[in-house]
Amino acid sequence: MPEDAAHLLASLRNTDGGFGVGVGQPSETEPTVLAALALDDAGARGWLAEHQRENGSFSFGAGPYVNDSVTGLGALALEPGRERERALDHVESKRARRVDSTSAVPIDESAVGWGWAEGTASWVEPTATALWALRLMRPLSVAVKDAVALLRDRESVGGGWNYGNRVVLGEELPPFVQTTGIALVGLSGMDPDLEGRGLDTLSRLWRVESEGGLSLSTTLAAFRVHGRMHEARAVRSALERLVDRTELLGDGVALGWAALAMSDRLPGEDR
């Protein structure tokens, strides 16, 4: 039942209004963002508002680095208003660091997306979540085109996405379900050919990687956002069984994605 993932996610709620990655863990941004979205949780939104940085980001410090990769999801979770606009401003104004193409890792140097941390290179997942927020709330931004260009450049040979690159040291990196699902959620409506190859890849692969909650959840979200309801129903059944059997190992991020993917609050769903 869809309530199961939501119920399990709700059990991670802390007294400060935020959600932890596991039971009894302190509140962190990513599970709190997902809970705000999936559960429409006012307490979670309050926690996010309290923890938003001056620059509008939601971030995690790691020495000289600031991991701000959740800011796009944060913007999706906030109610319309100043906090949401500040988060969008941050996402729209930031880019990953431009890096050189090399024979080891050939890339289109002009394609620059979003990274896990400020000042580092572009990766598929943070670019996809930034794109998800921007295409829904700032569709005319040039940042939308940048995100699509990055995902075009990093597409695996034949379709879908690995975590960051297409080829490394001559090896074509295969697509993964989780990263392909997230990329497709971000991309919806942006590039039909690219999305078509990605959806075909996801249709082919999701049963192979169906033992993980994060993979099934992002797959379900992708199929729903793209209106592929027949496949979405099959994935949902598999996800419900997995939640019932394993509780997704109690992982707040996986449970958050599962609850969101099964909810009627999935941003940008093509109904």
Partner 1 sequence: MRHPFDRRAFLRGAVVGGAVAVAGGAGLRALLRQPRPWDEAAFRPPGEAHVAVLTASSYEGSLEATVLDGLRAIGADVRGANVLLKPNLVEFDPSTAINTEPRLIAATVLAFRRLGAASVVVAEGPGHRRDVQDVITRSGLAEAVADVDAPFIDLNAAPIRLIRLRSRYTDLKELWLPAPVLDADVVVSMPKMKTHHWAGVTLSLKNLFGTLPGRVYGWPKNILHWEGIEQSILDIAGAVRPSYAIVDGIVGMEGNGPISGEPVQMGILVFADDPVAADTIGASLMGFDPERIPYISEAGLFLGQTDRDRMQQRGEDPEGRMRSFAPPPLGDGIIGA
- Binding residues (CB under 8 A) for partner 1: these are 21-22, 25-26, 28, 30, 60, 62-65, 67, 69, 96, 99-100, 102, 104-105, 107, 115-117, 119-123, 125, 163-165, 168-171, 176-179, 209-215, 246, 248-249, 251-254
Rg of the chain taking only CA atoms, in angstroms: 17
Nearer to partner 1, 122 or 188 (CB): 122
Nearer to partner 1, 52 or 69 (CB): 69
Nearer to partner 1, 54 or 171 (CB): 171
Query: In the bound complex, what is the minimum distance in angstroms from residue 218's beta carbon to partner 1?
Result: 9
- Half-sphere exposure in the Cβ direction for 44 (13 Å, CA): 28
Query: In the bound complex, what is the minimum distance in angstroms from residue 179's beta carbon to partner 1?
Result: 8
Query: CA-CA distance, 99 to 108, in Å (whole number)?
Result: 9
Distance of alpha carbon 180 from its chain centroid, rounded? 10
Query: In the bound complex, what is the minimum distance in angstroms from residue 194's beta carbon to partner 1?
Result: 19
- Per-position b or e across 25-54, b if 16+ CB within 10 A of its CB: eebbbbbbbbbbbbbebebbbebbeebbee
User: Are the CB atoms for 31 and 270 separated by under 8 Å?
Assistant: no
Query: CA-CA distance, 147 to 62, in Å (whole number)?
Result: 25
Nearer to partner 1, 30 or 83 (CB): 30
Query: In the bound complex, what is the minimum distance in angstroms from residue 39's beta carbon to partner 1?
Result: 19
